Every structure is written in C-alpha cells, then in structure tokens.
Chains A and B, each alone.
Chain A
Amino acid sequence: MSVNTTRRVILGAALAGATVLGSYLPAAAQETIKVGILHSLSGTMAISETTLKDVMLMLIDEQNKKGGVLGKKLEAVVVDPASNWPLFAEKARELITKDKVSAVFGCWTSVSRKSVLPVFKELNSILFYPVQYEGEESERNVFYTGAAPNQQAIPAVDYLAKEEKVQRWVLAGTDYVYPRTTNKVLEAYLKSKGVKSEDIMINYTPFGHSDWQTIVSDIKKFGTAGKKTAVVSTINGDANVPFYKELGNQGVKATDIPVVAFSVGEEELAGIDTKPLLGHLAAWNYFQSVKTPENEAFIKQWKAYKKNDKAVTNDPMEAHVIGFAMWVKAVEKAKSFDPDKVIDALPGIEAPNLTGGISKMLPNHHITKPVLIGEIKADGQFDVVSKTGLVAGDAWSKELDGSKDLIGDWVEKKCGNFNVKTGKCGGA
C-alpha cells in the first residue's frame, strides 16, 4: 500500500524534526569537558530511557558540585535519537565530532548499540552501555556496565531449579536479538544440566504484542505434564503489561507456575496492579528495595532530584552510577580525557555498587556484579529472596559451541575475541 511507504518517509522526517528538541545545556565555565548522553526521549523506548538521561544529569551535576574532574567542570550534552536505530549512529557521530564529547553514556536496546558501534570504533571514543544484554561481544570502545547472561539469566535458572525444583521450562521472549541469544544460551545450559528437549518450550512474540490469551493458555497446558514448570521471560518493554495482566486474569499463580523476568523492573511494574502477580520473580543486579546505606542515600538523592516522592530507581540506573564513577576514577588515574588513555586506565578500576559491594572493571570491559533474585510484592517493589556474591561478566558465553573458547582481553591480548585454543585473535 502506498500508505505504508509514505508513512516511512514521514516517519523519518518527523523523527528528524523531533530530534531538534534535543537540548544543549548552557555552558557553565569557559572550558568544560563534555559528556554525551545518548538516550531516546521520544518514541517507544522513551519509557525506559528517559530516566537514564535524568540520572546522568543528576550524576554530572553532583560531580560538578564536588569540583568536577581534573579541575574542570563537566557539561552534559543531551541528544534524542528518538527510538530510531539509524538515528542513534547519526547522533553518536554528532556528539563525537561536533560536540567533541569525552565519553558517551547511552543506548538501551542491543540494536541501537550495534548501530553506534562502527561510529565509536571509527572515531575512537568511549561508550558506557548500562543495560543487561545477550553477551557475545567485547569491543575496545565499549564498556558494558549491565549484566551479561551469566550475571542474570543463568543464576536465575539455577535458583528456580534449586529452590523451586523446576524441571520444565518455558522460554518466552520478544522476537529480537537479546531474547534469541539469551534463550540459546539458556537452552544449551539447561540441556547440559540434563533437561530433555521436550521439557523446554520456546516461544517468541512480536514487539508490543498485546493479545496473550493463547500463549498464557499454552503455558498452562505445558504445565500439566506433572512436573514443576516455570517461565523464563525475556519479554521486553511494553508487551509485559498485557502479559502480566493476562497471567493474573487466567489465574496463573506464582506458587504453581512462577515467571522469572529479566526485563521487568520497578518502572515496568508501575503500570500494573501487582496484587495478582505476588511471588513472580525478576533477576537483576540491583533492586530499589535493597537496604544498604549507599542505596538509601541514592534513592533519597534521586527523589529529591525528581521532586517526586514516588520516583522509582532500577537496575540500569545503578549501572550508570557505577559506570560514571568508574569513568571519573579512570580519568583521574590517566590524568587525561584522551580516549586511548582512559580506555587503558579503565580495566582494574573499582567503584562501589549500590548493593553493598565493590564492582570492578574487567579486562573484557564487563564488570563484576552480584546477582539478586526478587519476588514481586503487592506494592510493586521486589523482595530479595536470593543474592550471590560478585560474579564476573563473561563477554563470551561458555555454554555456546561457537563462543566457549573465546575471551575478551583488552589488557594483555588487546583483543575482544581471543581464541584460547588456537591462541589467535579473531574468533572461533
């Protein structure tokens, strides 16, 4: 239909227009160091990414109150890539070449990260990526402060198998790269633990899927095999609300078929009545309900910054807190804002996380984090029922044939995909 092609043209034009809205904060001092913030403020991903922009502004503000970095004030440069993946690359180029930012904090979806990767490599800049992702990547210019699959998915499955005695698994996800890769890793892991193929059901749905009746009743049916069943959900974004509503309406209780989610946090639960969801689980490296002095101070600061007593905090926000602290320390260690020097200084840098531990940047550009399992409470918060010690992030999954011999090491090997078997850099 001509409607569709025209639509695409308009979409492009309108989005380009929308990005003009991306604002520049006034320069405070004559010489400032610019920090880029690349998060969607409009479009579908605005729901998740807007808060990350705010938390970065708060952190930069706070750092400036402490006197900035190396005696220079920081200046945030906010752009809006409008949930449009190619636009992410354009905006990243603009930040690095036009605004000359020293580092960029941004991206949410894997596809947006993949879209900006060539730009960061070509122009040699630094990206801090704060969201849990599918792994299978280690780039010199990217620092992954979110969880790799072994820091979220695998510990969650272990918890269910051990504590809930789950023997049958539904892997339900949105149809794109993160759920597909994570489910591949999980499937290989479960099979290595002796789970049979017929005890694993894999289901994918489109983005924004809203009619979950069939899938929820399929899950109920799958649960009648006489073995304890659980759902591992990599369902992303907006589709979660109708999914959980349908679970509640069809009476799928956590005591019968628990659902553990990797993309559902405090923000997502804000749109649902959580009473029917009591006891369903989520696996993250941070929950707002964690009681540590660091976290309580952070929540207080955030609520004051947002001027909203109900403002919630979540895992990717914590990742930015850690990432920003690490960047500041690395700049101070390198005594320079030069990307090459900062990239070399970052591995080995330690920064406190908000759950009471010290996270460390590893040579593969991932960090160490604890894994927390939380059960949904009636007030939309999570009750932590299990917490591990610090787990080192694996850039390459040990469960997949193609990647189990690979490591990322930017300190000694200067290589993101070093094959330990062949001793060569350059993949499987």
Chain B
Amino acid sequence: MRIVSCLLRMIALATLLALQPGAAAAQSADEAFTRLGADSFSDTNRAIELLIANAHPQAAPIIEALAAGRLLAGGGAVVIKTTDGKFLDARTGAALPAESPGLAPVRLNNGVRRNIQAALGGLGLLNPDAGKRIAAAEAVFKSRDVALLPVLEGAIAKETDARAKAALRQAQAAILVAKPDAPPFDRIAAIDVLRERGDQDALATLRSLPADSSPALKEAQSRAVSAIEGKLAVWRAGQNLWYGLSLGSVLLLAAIGLAITFGVMGVINMAHGEMVMLGAYTTFIVQEIIRTRFPGLFDYSLLIAVPLAFMVAGLVGIAIERGVIRFLYGRPLETLLATWGISLILQQAVRTAFGPTNREVGAPNFMSGAFEIGQLAITWNRLWIIVFAGLVFAALLAILKLTPIGLQMRAVTQNRRMASAMGIRTGRVDALTFGLGSGVAGLAGVALSQIDNVSPNLGQSYIIDSFMVVVFGGVGNLWGTLISAMTLGVANKLLEPYAGAVLGKIALLVFIILFIQKRPRGLFALKGRAVEA
C-alpha cells in the first residue's frame, strides 16, 4: 500500500515538474538516452533534465546509478550496473544477461554532480524514509530550484516527522527568500526561518539575496545576518579552543615518549621522531595484511596495530639503548650526535624498504567523518586522538607511579648509585625505560598515521615540537608535559586566525625562548638531588 501511494506521489510530482514553463515536455525521453551516451558533460546535464521533465519511470534509479558511477553507456546502449554486479537495461529496468562490450561509465564533473544532487533532492522529497527526506531537503536548500516550491509545500503539509518538517521548511525558505515575485511577507518570514537555522549555509543563502529587494526586506536580512554572525562568532571561539586541544593532544602524544627518554633519563634522543615513524609504518603493515588476508577486520586494524607498534618501536629502542646509548651516558653531545646518526640511518632504511613515497593508511569507519554539536563540527579522528592521548598519558602515569618497574625507574634516575646499592639492576632498568619511551613514541605513530603522511620524513616534523613541549613543561615531569602540550596547542590555535600559521608559530617560538630565559627549568621544575646530579 505504502509503495503504491509513494509511486502515485512520485508521478504527481513528476507531472508537476513537467508542467513548469521551460521544461521540455515535448521532447521524448529517448533523446535523454542518446545524450547519456554522447560522452559530453553538457549532454549529460540535458539528459538529467529530460528524464525529470518527462517523468521517466526509471529516472530515480538512473540518476542514482549515475551519481555512483554505475551508469554505463556505449554503442547506443545505456546500462545500470547494480551494487551486486548485475546489469539492467536503463530504459526498462529489465535484467540483461551479461555485460555487453564497449560500455564505459558515464563521466561526471562537478557541474553534473551538482545537477544530480538537485535532481535527487527533488525526487527524494516524498521518500517514505524520513532520513532521506531530510537529505533531499538539504539538497534542495542548496540548489534553490524554484520549480520545486509546490512540491515542497505539498510535502510540508503531509510531513509528520518534526525534524524533516523543519528541514523542508528551511528548504522552502531558501527558495522563497531569493524569489523576487514571492509575497514580501512570506519572504520576511523566510528570513526568520533561516535566522533560526543560523548556520553557515543559512548565512550564505541570506547574503546571496538579490540586490533589488525592498528596504524592509533588506533590513530584515541585515538583522538576520548580524544575528547569525554574532552567534557563529561565539561558536568559533569554542571551535578554536577545540582545535587547540586537538593540536595539544597530538603534541602530547608526540612528546610523551620523549618525556621519558629525555625527561626522565636525560638522553637527548634525536631518533625519537623515527620511533614515531616506525609506529606509523607498523600500522601500515598491519593494514596491508588485513586488506589482503582479512578484509573484515579492517575496522579493528588500529586496535591490532597499537600493541604491535608499541612492541616494534620499544624493541628498536631497547636495541639502540643496549647497542649505542649505554656507552654514552653522561656525554650529552656524543649522545646527541649518535642518536641523530641513528635517526638518519632509520629514515634511509625505511626509505629503501618502503620507497620514498607516502603510504596509504586508511581510516576505520569509526574514525571517518564528523558530527556537529550546534555549529561546532567535530571530526571523529580528532576526537579519538584526544581520547587516545589521554589514555596513553594515564597508562604511563600509572606505570611510573604504581608498578615496581616504575618505582625502579624513578629510583635509578634519581640516584643511580644508591639504587644499584639497593640491588636494582640499573642497566636492565635503563634499557626498559628507554624501551618504554620508544614504545610510547610508537603508539603516537599509530595515531599520527591517521592525520599525517606516512612517509620516512614523518618523525622529522615532530622532533622539534616534541623537544619544545618537554623543555617548556619542565624536564622529568609528566604532568608538566601534559600542561605544556595543551598550552602550546591552544595558544597556537588561538593565535592562528589572527596571525596566520607562519607568524603564529614564530610568535610561539619567541615566547618559549623568552620563557626559558626566565625559567630555565620549564613550567614545573624538579626539585631535589636529581637536578644536581
């Protein structure tokens, strides 16, 4: 019953469309199919118009297939390839035995894509699914197709879902507001609807009002624009804060491993960035294996990569400590030189093994896209990175404060000889501490693979920032690292809209230089014997 009534509505809609002046009702739908095969964008656009205008029963499936790149044409035939790989004749919807030769997908450009969106918007307004109706209303909101006004009115009258009704009303308002011959009262009411909506799209619509509108309308428009702008400015401040926290969490992840190796152990570890890079490449390898062997597990790829990245980077770290750094304790300049050399070796090794080009690390579904709180768009990947950074921080803090190995680490770094006298094997603790710091850097690599290039240079771009965070926060203090990362992140993002990315970064560096002059030990200086040692 429902489907039948839906079909009836579709036909009614199509008839309405066909009655619009300028619609080429007389031209046959056959022309549409010839034009689809012509491999020209303007012909494809015309074909879409013809299909809609003639109320072709197959219009919706054809346009949907076109949008998805599943509409094939060639040799006079137009064929829909279904999502499960079957072939249908576009004219009739009848199944075809097999793919005929000479078919190629009908090509799209942005202009065609916009027309498709508008057409699907028009076709979807009466869809039984409320979600689809909202999507269609959004499409109409953007296309502002005056011809759809009567359909919208009909749809609003029938609408029962509150959210869909609001979306339909907004679409109607977007059309009315720019329609010069609409009653002035309706247009002012439409401005109010847009003002209520209050987002960037509403602002764009309001600003695009034709110049010939009446003074009353102009006044209502300018009032609505300033109201929306005021509201958006508040949201924008919140958004900058959020961006700052997000940047801070990235800095925290990159720096927290260094807070162990440099902060706690005092090793100037220039190869820290390469541990991050190894973590990112581990993620890449895990994803490659999952892609080829277990495609169903893709959404869990990052979860699987987390312990592996920790282990790979941690083991490499232990090897570096045992092989090189332990001979250089107490000689910071040599350590610096040696670790810088190691970082170059690791980079070139990865470049030789994986090639110099970027590797693709995909985002699992739960990390793609964005959601909105009010006018604040929050991307899932950034949210998860903040959560992940918090978890890593908490775990590290717990290890240092609550576990025996953490106690030993603190003991060795504070007073090596006393710890040794108490029976702690300091060499082993050194190796484990360095491994822990490197492993945490590997964890950062998993997260950074989601937002940055996975290339041999990945680590280089973070090493300076990491040192900056640790030095600013106070060497040897994890809480200091947390606060310093967040401060630097937020300060950077609050500066950026005014000063630009380049100047903002310079300003921040100058600030840190001045700050270190005043407080050489950073925000939170360690007290006690460790400092003098």
Which residues of A pack against B, CB within 8 Å?
A: 1, 3, 6-7, 10-11, 14, 18, 41-44, 46-47, 50, 163-164, 175, 203-206, 208-211, 213-215, 217-218, 220-221, 223-227, 238, 241-242, 245-246, 249-251, 254-256, 258, 267-268, 270-273, 279, 375, 378, 383, 385
Contact = CB atoms under 8 A, between A and B. Distances in A.
B358 interface: yes
- Size band of the interface chain B makes with A: 35 or more
A168 B382 CA distance: 29
Interface string B454-483: 111100110000010001000000000000
B209 to A, nearest CB: 8
Interface in B356-379: 356-360, 362-363, 368-370, 377, 379
A224 B208 CA distance: 9
B296 to A, nearest CB: 18
B528 interface: no
Interface of B: 41, 69, 107-111, 113-114, 117, 142, 200-201, 203-209, 232, 236, 239-240, 243, 246-247, 250, 268, 270, 333, 336-337, 340-341, 344, 347-348, 351, 355-360, 362-363, 368-370, 377, 379-382, 451-457, 460-461, 467, 471, 493, 496-497, 500-502, 505, 516
A87 to B, nearest CB: 14
Contacts of B455: 47, 238, 271
A18 B505 contact: no
Given A223-B204, A224-B201, A279-B113, A44 B250 contact: no
A271 B111 contact: no
A217 B355 CA distance: 34
A249 B501 contact: no
Contacts of B239: 217
A3 B336 contact: yes
Residue of B111, B243, B355, B453 with most partner-chain A CB within 10 A: B453
A360 B97 CA distance: 51
Contacts of B355: 50
16 contacts: A1-B471, A6-B337, A7-B270, A7-B340, A10-B341, A14-B340, A208-B461, A211-B247, A221-B200, A224-B203, A227-B208, A238-B358, A238-B457, A249-B379, A255-B113, A272-B358
B41 A220 contact: no
B243 A238 contact: no
Given A204-B500, A242-B453, A258-B110, 7 more contacts: A7-B270, A208-B461, A211-B246, A214-B497, A217-B243, A246-B379, A375-B110
A14 B454 CA distance: 23
A251 B369 contact: yes
A65 B333 CA distance: 53
A251 B358 contact: no
A50 to B, nearest CB: 5
Contact of B362 (A7, A220, A273, A375): A273
Contacts of B232: 221
A10 B268 CA distance: 14
Contact of A3 (B205, B377, B461, B467): B467
B207 A225 contact: yes
B231 to A, nearest CB: 13
Contact of A226 (B204, B357, B381, B516): B204
Contact of A211 (B250, B348, B358): B250
A347 B204 CA distance: 52
Nearest to B355: A50
Contact of A47 (B270, B357, B461): B357
List 4 tightest A-B contacts by C-beta distance, closest first.
A271-B358, A226-B208, A226-B207, A46-B356
Contacts of B456: 46
Contact of B496 (A47, A214, A238): A214
A221 B203 CA distance: 10
Contacts of A46: 351, 356, 456
Contacts of B516: 1
Given A14-B344, A241-B358, A250-B379, A214 B243 contact: yes
Residue of B109, B200, B207, B236 with most partner-chain A CB within 10 A: B109
Given A7-B270, A238-B455, A205 B501 contact: yes
Contacts of B497: 214, 218
Contact of B336 (A10, A213, A249): A10
A378 B247 contact: no
A14 B336 CA distance: 13
B340 A18 contact: no
Contacts of A226: 203-209
Contacts of B69: 378
A224 B200 contact: yes
Given A10-B336, A227-B208, A255-B117, A271 B359 contact: yes
A247 to B, nearest CB: 11
A11 B461 CA distance: 15
A264 to B, nearest CB: 12
Given A227-B208, A249-B381, A267 B340 contact: no
B118 to A, nearest CB: 10
A163 B111 contact: yes
B208 A175 contact: no
A268 to B, nearest CB: 7
Contacts of B360: 270-273
A245 B208 CA distance: 30
A206 B505 contact: yes
B268 A3 contact: yes
Nearest to B489: A211
B452 A213 contact: no
B208 A205 contact: no
B268 A224 contact: no
A227 to B, nearest CB: 7
Given A50-B356, A210-B452, A273-B362, A375 B109 contact: yes
Nearest to B344: A14
B501 A215 contact: yes
A3 B463 CA distance: 12
Contacts of B356: 41, 46-47, 50
Contacts of B502: 175, 204-206
A203 B504 CA distance: 13
Contact of B493 (A205, A214, A378): A214
Contacts of B240: 214
Nearest to A241: B453
B333 A242 contact: no
A402 to B, nearest CB: 24
Contacts of A223: 200, 204
Contact of A210 (B110, B200, B451): B451
Contacts of A251: 369-370, 377
Given A270-B360, A271-B359, A224 B333 contact: no
Given A42-B351, A226-B204, A241-B452, A210 B461 contact: yes
A385 B40 CA distance: 10
A227 B505 CA distance: 32
Nearest to A218: B497
Contacts of B351: 42, 46
Nearest to A230: B110
A6 B328 CA distance: 17
Nearest to B457: A44
A66 B351 CA distance: 33
Contacts of A224: 200-201, 203-204, 207
Contacts of A10: 336-337, 340-341
B207 A385 contact: no
Residue of B69, B107, B357, B454 with most partner-chain A CB within 10 A: B357
A385 B109 contact: yes
Nearest to A6: B336
Residue of B203, B209, B368, B452 with most partner-chain A CB within 10 A: B452
B330 to A, nearest CB: 16
